[in-house]
Amino acid sequence: MPDEIHIRDDFQIGETASFSKTITESDIYAYAGISGDFNPVHVNAEFAKKTRFKERIAHGMLTAGLVSAVLGMKLPGPGAIYLSQQMEFLKPVRIGDTITATAEVQAYNAEKRILTLRTTCTNQRGEAVLEGRAVVMMDRIQA
Protein backbone atom coordinates (compact mmCIF):
# COMPACT_ATOMS: atom_id res chain seq x y z
CA MET A 1 0.00 0.00 0.00
CA PRO A 2 1.52 3.35 -0.94
CA ASP A 3 2.34 5.78 1.87
CA GLU A 4 0.78 8.68 0.03
CA ILE A 5 -2.35 8.41 -2.11
CA HIS A 6 -2.94 10.87 -4.93
CA ILE A 7 -6.50 11.35 -6.19
CA ARG A 8 -6.45 12.41 -9.83
CA ASP A 9 -8.81 14.61 -11.80
CA ASP A 10 -6.83 15.13 -15.04
CA PHE A 11 -7.61 12.27 -17.42
CA GLN A 12 -6.83 12.27 -21.14
CA ILE A 13 -8.72 10.41 -23.88
CA GLY A 14 -6.53 7.51 -25.01
CA GLU A 15 -4.59 7.30 -21.72
CA THR A 16 -3.91 3.69 -20.72
CA ALA A 17 -2.68 1.65 -17.78
CA SER A 18 -2.11 -2.09 -17.35
CA PHE A 19 -1.64 -4.76 -14.71
CA SER A 20 -0.26 -8.25 -15.34
CA LYS A 21 -0.51 -11.45 -13.32
CA THR A 22 0.27 -15.10 -13.94
CA ILE A 23 -2.72 -17.21 -12.94
CA THR A 24 -1.86 -20.03 -10.55
CA GLU A 25 -3.69 -23.06 -9.25
CA SER A 26 -3.72 -21.34 -5.85
CA ASP A 27 -5.47 -18.31 -7.39
CA ILE A 28 -8.23 -20.55 -8.73
CA TYR A 29 -8.76 -22.33 -5.40
CA ALA A 30 -8.66 -19.04 -3.48
CA TYR A 31 -11.23 -17.52 -5.82
CA ALA A 32 -13.44 -20.60 -5.51
CA GLY A 33 -13.25 -20.32 -1.72
CA ILE A 34 -14.02 -16.61 -1.68
CA SER A 35 -16.83 -16.73 -4.25
CA GLY A 36 -18.29 -20.16 -3.47
CA ASP A 37 -17.98 -21.11 -7.17
CA PHE A 38 -16.58 -24.65 -7.09
CA ASN A 39 -17.67 -25.48 -10.65
CA PRO A 40 -15.59 -28.60 -11.43
CA VAL A 41 -14.34 -27.10 -14.71
CA HIS A 42 -12.24 -24.88 -12.43
CA VAL A 43 -11.27 -27.21 -9.57
CA ASN A 44 -11.50 -30.83 -10.77
CA ALA A 45 -8.86 -31.93 -13.29
CA GLU A 46 -10.62 -35.23 -14.14
CA PHE A 47 -13.90 -33.45 -14.85
CA ALA A 48 -12.17 -30.72 -16.85
CA LYS A 49 -10.45 -33.32 -19.10
CA LYS A 50 -13.91 -34.26 -20.40
CA THR A 51 -14.82 -30.69 -21.35
CA ARG A 52 -14.08 -28.81 -24.56
CA PHE A 53 -11.15 -27.16 -22.74
CA LYS A 54 -9.44 -30.50 -21.84
CA GLU A 55 -8.04 -28.95 -18.65
CA ARG A 56 -9.10 -26.71 -15.80
CA ILE A 57 -9.72 -23.07 -16.62
CA ALA A 58 -9.81 -19.99 -14.43
CA HIS A 59 -13.11 -18.42 -13.41
CA GLY A 60 -14.11 -15.66 -15.81
CA MET A 61 -14.67 -13.32 -12.90
CA LEU A 62 -11.15 -14.03 -11.61
CA THR A 63 -9.91 -12.64 -14.92
CA ALA A 64 -12.36 -9.73 -14.63
CA GLY A 65 -10.91 -9.02 -11.19
CA LEU A 66 -7.65 -8.02 -12.88
CA VAL A 67 -9.59 -5.25 -14.63
CA SER A 68 -10.78 -4.12 -11.21
CA ALA A 69 -7.15 -4.00 -10.07
CA VAL A 70 -6.22 -1.67 -12.93
CA LEU A 71 -9.20 0.61 -12.28
CA GLY A 72 -8.76 0.75 -8.52
CA MET A 73 -4.99 1.07 -8.41
CA LYS A 74 -3.78 2.63 -11.67
CA LEU A 75 -6.37 4.20 -14.00
CA PRO A 76 -8.25 6.03 -12.75
CA GLY A 77 -6.73 4.75 -9.49
CA PRO A 78 -7.49 5.26 -5.80
CA GLY A 79 -10.90 6.80 -5.27
CA ALA A 80 -12.45 5.04 -8.29
CA ILE A 81 -15.94 3.64 -7.72
CA TYR A 82 -17.45 1.19 -10.22
CA LEU A 83 -20.75 2.28 -11.74
CA SER A 84 -20.93 -0.44 -14.40
CA GLN A 85 -18.90 -3.03 -16.26
CA GLN A 86 -19.87 -4.71 -19.50
CA MET A 87 -17.65 -7.59 -20.59
CA GLU A 88 -17.38 -10.41 -23.05
CA PHE A 89 -15.28 -13.51 -22.36
CA LEU A 90 -13.50 -14.46 -25.59
CA LYS A 91 -11.08 -17.27 -24.69
CA PRO A 92 -10.41 -19.45 -21.66
CA VAL A 93 -7.67 -18.57 -19.20
CA ARG A 94 -5.57 -21.54 -18.09
CA ILE A 95 -3.28 -22.13 -15.15
CA GLY A 96 0.09 -20.59 -16.05
CA ASP A 97 -1.34 -17.96 -18.40
CA THR A 98 -0.03 -14.46 -17.81
CA ILE A 99 -2.92 -12.08 -18.21
CA THR A 100 -2.50 -8.36 -18.82
CA ALA A 101 -5.53 -6.23 -18.01
CA THR A 102 -5.59 -2.82 -19.69
CA ALA A 103 -7.90 0.15 -19.28
CA GLU A 104 -8.08 2.97 -21.83
CA VAL A 105 -9.92 6.24 -21.23
CA GLN A 106 -12.61 6.75 -23.87
CA ALA A 107 -14.53 9.62 -22.26
CA TYR A 108 -14.24 11.82 -19.19
CA ASN A 109 -16.92 14.08 -17.73
CA ALA A 110 -14.84 16.34 -15.48
CA GLU A 111 -17.87 18.01 -13.90
CA LYS A 112 -19.39 14.71 -12.76
CA ARG A 113 -15.96 13.04 -12.41
CA ILE A 114 -17.15 10.05 -14.48
CA LEU A 115 -14.87 8.09 -16.79
CA THR A 116 -15.75 5.59 -19.49
CA LEU A 117 -12.94 3.13 -20.21
CA ARG A 118 -12.34 0.35 -22.70
CA THR A 119 -11.22 -2.72 -20.75
CA THR A 120 -9.30 -5.64 -22.20
CA CYS A 121 -7.39 -8.67 -20.96
CA THR A 122 -4.84 -10.42 -23.13
CA ASN A 123 -2.77 -13.53 -22.54
CA GLN A 124 0.98 -13.97 -22.99
CA ARG A 125 0.40 -14.72 -26.69
CA GLY A 126 -1.32 -11.35 -27.17
CA GLU A 127 -4.73 -12.98 -27.62
CA ALA A 128 -7.72 -11.10 -26.22
CA VAL A 129 -9.45 -13.19 -23.55
CA LEU A 130 -11.83 -10.47 -22.32
CA GLU A 131 -13.12 -7.21 -23.78
CA GLY A 132 -15.47 -4.73 -22.24
CA ARG A 133 -16.37 -1.26 -21.12
CA ALA A 134 -16.32 0.20 -17.62
CA VAL A 135 -17.89 3.33 -16.21
CA VAL A 136 -16.41 4.62 -12.97
CA MET A 137 -16.67 7.77 -10.91
CA MET A 138 -13.91 9.37 -8.96
CA ASP A 139 -14.94 9.98 -5.39
CA ARG A 140 -14.15 13.37 -3.90
CA ILE A 141 -11.92 12.78 -0.92
CA GLN A 142 -12.01 15.31 1.91
CA ALA A 143 -8.59 16.62 2.97
Residue extents of the structural domains in the chain? 16-138
Block mean pLDDT (10 aa), the chain, length 143: 64 97 98 98 98 97 97 93 97 98 97 96 98 92 60
Pick the CATH number of 16-138 from 1.20.59.10, 3.30.1330.40, 3.10.129.10, 2.30.30.60: 3.10.129.10
**Residue 85's pLDDT is what?**
97
For every residue of the chain, DSSP letters joined together read --SS--------TT-EEEEEEE--HHHHHHHHHHH----HHHH-HHHHHTSTTSS-B--HHHHHHHHHHHHHHTSS-TTEEEEEEEEEE-S--BTT-EEEEEEEEEEEETTTTEEEEEEEEE-TTS-EEEEEEEEEEEPPPP-
